[in-house]
Amino acid sequence: MMTTYTCAYCGEINDLFIDPSGGDHQEFIEDCQICCRPNLLKMTGNAEADVFTVTAEVEG
């Protein structure tokens, strides 16, 4: 499913694809599409309800 997150560095909105088969709690690094810096994304959600929350943090 597609969602968005706000870059922890530049504040721009990024599109993000989440693979629900990866589980209801996922952490991964995604480079910002605008400033190219690595965001640590923490996703929590409920695949059955199709509800996901993504927070972006400065990596490291």
Q: How far, in Å, CA of 38 to CA of 35, rounded?
A: 9
Contact 39, 57 (CB under 8 A): yes
Position 56 contacts Zn ion (CB under 5 A):
no
Nearer to Zn ion, 29 or 34 (CB): 34
Which CB sits closer to Zn ion, 13 or 51?
13
29, 34, 51, 58: residue in contact with Zn ion (rule CB under 5 A): 34
The smaller minimum CB distance to Zn ion, of residues 5 and 18, is found at 5
* CB-based contact 15:7 (threshold 8 Å): no
